[in-house]
Chains A and B, each alone.
Chain A
């Protein structure tokens, strides 16, 4: 276990930033804190970094208690949202800063800095100043500056929010590859669900200072525990119903599902891509539906269906158009009972 946090509480005046948050990361894991702004994810990151003290709770790093240790005394490094490069220092000196501040000198420093710059493909720009770099380049240098210190855990505070969409996708892939290669624990803070799904081993979805669900990326997407998680990661159809013999009785009829609910009355979620088109009446969970709207999205067609105001995503080659009457199936394996 590389980083553990137990029962973290933090208030800012009346505002409850963190409420009884537990977090355990495995060594070499890419862990993401996902949530909207103000959910406490950045506060948690700052507490892990040592830039903020929790009101109560314990932070452990490789088994040692570091709760009250200041940032400069813990073996954790951060890539800041603004990158926070030192504007008066060259890239070389920026990357060397963490070693210089520990009074390391000589050829070791030079070698490590050059290796770190090479790792992010910036070795030829070592004498530039940060003001001469693009956003993406600054981000690479910030990454090198943190990783050169070989931290136990690398923290990333929305490192891609300042990049344009195309570059962001490329950087996500690079970041994931780098993390796999180094085998280090990365903890990423983001509000971008796609980014979280792309890079993470596990994701903790946060809301109002609490962790709502903490699970591997795929499980989180496919089996959200409640409506909040289902909505936050992609789109979901929510169907209210009551437990019945062999499934759930809803306004769309009796729906069968592979994992029966524990509640008597509640909601089911199903992703738009798990509502599938059938040329004839399907054997289970079949429904005759009318297309109220069809939006062409290039790679897919977003179809609005009545009854139930369902959203379905279909392949464009199906040629589904507004006004059509079609057969659909709500895949029993993808119908998830929600809690709370």
Chain B
């Protein structure tokens, strides 16, 4: 049996605590009756009540969900098609390597660079088409651009685990392309597609940088709203809002985790 120094588990747990204590603190303050102080003055749900009475916040919440929903649907379709095209089309080896790098690049590019680039691109487009004013359309496009890579990576990983024999067997059994897609590929890819979509949705939900560079006056999302109000001082409503956003993210991550794990077991 291997024996560990007591410091090993201590550091491991300590690192986790380091990550989660601030989040826990926010959750605690969101139910603290004290408005400004850091002292505990009893349990209350009034910040949550005020939160749900705040028109601006509700609108921002709706914008956030709308943006995440629409961009995720678009990104999931595009990302899935991208993954299939990339992995299954008989590219020459060199072209494939180049395309593969291009797929990974958006994932590692600093988001601020991406956002600034989008701002420039929309600025140019605006010279020709007036619809590219800062606002929801730009935000959806902006979010789709970074989500596509993530979806394509998750779906691509799943696709790599499906042997081409399976497709050939389907073809050998009289299935045409549409039938293979509908009855073989999509059912087998489903865990990857759902996992990719969940990841994309989560990323969109808490995205600040891209939104900040593309948003208009009527398309404020929760991260933008939180940022704006925090500059005027942190209020307990923000704690409540942050806690809810955190919970939503955790649930989504857990769901996508579960679906991906099911994938690996098959």
Q: Which A positions have Cβ atoms within 8 angstroms of B?
A: 49-51, 70-73, 76-78, 80-82, 84-88, 97-98, 100-102, 131, 145-146, 149
Contact A49-B170, Cβ < 8 Å, known A82-B165, A84-B163: no
| Contact surface of B with A, Cβ cutoff 8 Å | 163, 165-166, 168-176, 179, 183-184, 187-188, 266
Say whether A77 contacts B165, CB under 8 Å: no
Q: Is the CB of B163 within 8 A of A71?
A: no
Q: How far is the CB of B177 from chain A (nearest CB, A)?
A: 9
B residues near A101, Cβ cutoff 8 Å = 170, 173-176, 179, 183
A73 to B169, CA, bound (A): 13
- Name B174's contact: one of A81, A84, A85, A149 (CB within 8 Å): A149
Q: Are A98 and B174 in contact (CB under 8 A)?
A: yes
Q: List 29 A-B contacts (CB under 8 A).
A: A50-B172, A51-B172, A71-B171, A72-B171, A72-B176, A73-B174, A76-B172, A77-B173, A78-B168, A78-B169, A80-B165, A80-B169, A81-B165, A82-B163, A84-B166, A84-B168, A84-B169, A86-B170, A86-B184, A87-B188, A97-B183, A101-B170, A101-B173, A101-B174, A101-B176, A101-B179, A102-B174, A145-B173, A146-B173
Give the chain A neighbours of B179 by CB distance below 8 A: 101
For B168, list chain A residues within 8 Å (CB): 51, 71, 78, 80, 84
Residues of chain A contacted by B184 (CB below 8 angstroms)? 86
State whether A86 and B166 are in contact (beta carbons under 8 Å apart), knowing that A101-B179, A131-B266 are contacts in the complex. Answer: yes
Residues of A close to B172: CB separation below 8 A: 49-51, 71-72, 76-78, 146
Nearest Cβ distance between residue B224 and chain A, in whole angstroms? 42
Complex CA gap A145/B166 in Å reads 13
Docked complex Cα distance between A24 and B100 (Å):
45
* CB atoms of B187 and A88 under 8 A apart: yes
Interface of B (DSSP majority class): helix
B266 touches A87 (CB 8 A): yes
Contacts of A78 in B (CB 8 A): 168-169, 172
In the bound complex, residues from chain A placing their C-beta under 8 Å from that of B165 are: 80-82, 84
Kindly list 11 other residue pairs between chains A and B, CB separation below 8 angstroms, not including A81-B165, A98-B173, A146-B172: A72-B171, A72-B173, A78-B168, A78-B169, A82-B163, A82-B165, A87-B266, A88-B188, A97-B175, A97-B183, A98-B174
Query: Which residue from chain A places its CB closest to the CB of B190 in the assembled complex?
Result: A88
Least Cβ–Cβ distance between B184 and chain A, in angstroms: 6
Cα distance A91–B173 when bound, in Å?
A: 15
Task: Report whether B171 and A97 are in contact in the complex, using a CB–CB cutoff of 8 Å.
Answer: no
| Shortest CB distance B58–A (Å) | 42
Q: Which residue of B lies closest to A104 (CB)?
A: B174
In the complex, the answer to whether A72 meets B187 with C-beta atoms within 8 Å is no
Contacts of A49 in B (CB 8 A): 172
Complex interface: chain A residues within 8 A of B174 (CB): 72-73, 98, 101-102, 149
CA A88 to CA B168, docked complex, whole Å: 16
Write out the residue numbers on chain A whose beta carbons fall within 8 Å of the beta carbon of B188: 87-88
Q: Which 7 A-B pairs have the closest CB atoms?
A: A98-B173, A84-B169, A84-B165, A101-B175, A71-B171, A101-B174, A72-B174
User: In the complex, how many angstroms separate the beta carbon of A133 from the nearest chain B beta carbon?
Assistant: 14
Closest approach, in angstroms, between the C-beta of B92 and any C-beta of chain A?
A: 11
Known: A82-B165, A88-B188. A97 touches B266 (CB 8 A): no
Central interface residue in A70, A85, A87, by most chain B CB within 10 Å: A87
- What B residues does A88 contact at CB under 8 A? 187-188
Residue of B nearest to A51 (CB): B168
Q: What is the bound-complex CA distance between A85 and B166, given in angstroms? A: 7
Rounded to whole angstroms, the CA-CA distance of A102 and B166 in the bound complex is 18
Most buried by A among B163, B168, B176, B179: B168
Which residues from B are CB-within-8-Å of A50?
171-172
Cβ contacts under 8 Å, B176 to chain A: 72, 101
Complex CA–CA separation, A97 to B173 (angstroms)? 7
A149→B173 contact, CB < 8 A: yes
- Give, as a whole number of angstroms, the nearest-CB distance from A135 to chain B: 15
> CA separation between A50 and B176, bound complex, in Å?
13
A73 to B266, CA, bound (A): 31
| Minimum distance in angstroms from B173 CB to a CB of chain A | 4
Chain A neighbourhood of B173, CB < 8 A: 72, 77, 97-98, 101, 145-146, 149
Give the nearest-CB partner of B163 in chain A.
Answer: A82
